[in-house]
Amino acid sequence: MAANIGLGCVTFGREIDKEASFALMDHARAMGVKTFDTAAVYGNGSSETIVGEWLTERGIKSGEISIATKILPPYTAAGIRVSIEASLKRLDIGTIALLYLHRWDDALTQPAAWLTLDSLKAKGKIKTIGASNFNEEQLTNSIALLKSIGGIQLSYIQNNHNLAVSDITPRMKALCADNNIKLVTYSPLGAGFLTGKHLNGVAADSRFAIMPAHQEIYFNEQANKRLHKLMEVAKRVNQSPTLLAMAWALYQPQTHTVLVGVRSVSQLDLTTEAIKFYAPEIFAELESV
């Protein structure tokens, strides 16, 4: 079974304007997408603001769309409260359906941050708690600490996962299965790397041009081997590398939701085509390098 599709709102206010963002959210809603994922840092708050304005202008009823957002350190009690209140204000909602800690911080080795999140959950500010960009050790330690505290559930983990690069290990999958943690993945096309458009260098106006620090994640020997295998297989089976990479991500075992961060409606429509392409033998071949 294919994973759920979530709309990644990372492009809003950074790569596309309000009008284009509204068009994407309208189209995603019409497609039946129920999860919109943003973060306080996306566009320095612009993404959350645009999502909030869309929710208000479209008169979206509470619960119709599940809003996930993320906060960065400091994970002090005061820092967490201030960050969440700021996100609630930008989103113009009363409750965040899913609140992620956007990255690891050593403050999470102590109970205070988790207890603050739990108290905000009790007050109705957030519904569920997730972790984003945690590695295997950080996830293991977080689970152990929460078990020692008792009563606090980490419900989701969101990490980068695609054919070229993955921050999800077999051990992490086992931890998720054993602790009822849903696995959410993002960047199914590797920020455009897996489309093949960067074979002759970084394409102008691309995600890698806008965020050059991301280049070192993908422009390496192993990722390039995966890309060339993808291009080879795509040519042989007469499918686009983009469709094959998206289908591979959607049909990864145990993945609950794949977040798709796009700039246009046509890019979002690719997910509909990819869901139809279930080919375990081809997926296995893509992984064989």
Q: What domains can you pick out in the chain, each with its CATH number? A: 4-286 (3.20.20.100)
Helices marked H in the chain: 18-31, 46-57, 77-91, 111-122, 136-149, 170-178, 207-210, 215-218, 221-237, 241-250, 265-275, 280-286
pLDDT of residue 203: 67
From the first residue on, what is the mean pLDDT of each consecutive set of 10 residues in the chain (289 residues)?
97 96 98 98 98 98 95 98 98 98 98 98 98 98 98 97 97 98 97 85 69 79 95 97 98 98 93 97 96
Q: Is 276 helix (H, G, I), strand (E, B) or coil?
A: coil
For residue 263, what is the DSSP state? S
- pLDDT score, position 160: 98
All residues at 6 or more sequence positions from 131 whose CB lies less than 8 Å from its CB, including other chains:
100, 101, 104, 138, 139, 142, 154, 156, 157, 158
C-beta contacts of 268-271 below 8 A and 24+ residues apart? 268/7, 268/24, 268/27, 268/28, 268/31, 269/27, 270/242, 270/243, 270/246, 271/5, 271/31, 271/246
- What pLDDT score was predicted for residue 215? 76
How big is the CA angle at 73 (ends 55 and 136), to the nearest 5 degrees? 100
Are 185 and 252 in contact, with CB atoms under 8 Å apart? yes
- Side chain identity at 204, as an amino acid letter? A
List Cβ<8 Å contacts ≥24 apart for 210-215. Answer: 210/14, 210/15
DSSP three-state, residue 204: coil
Q: In Å, what is the CA distance from 133 to each residue of 121, 129, 266?
A: 22, 14, 28
Structural contact between residues 192 and 208, judged by C-beta atoms closer than 8 angstroms = yes
> CA 164, CA 100: separation in Å to the nearest integer?
24
**What distance in Å separates the CA atoms of residue 4 and residue 257, rounded to the nearest whole number?**
4
Structure confidence at residue 188 (pLDDT): 97
What is residue 209's predicted lDDT score, i.e. its pLDDT? 66
Residues with Cβ < 8 Å from 40, sequence gap 6 or more?
48, 69, 70, 71, 72, 83, 86, 87, 90, 102
Structure tokens, 29: 């809603």
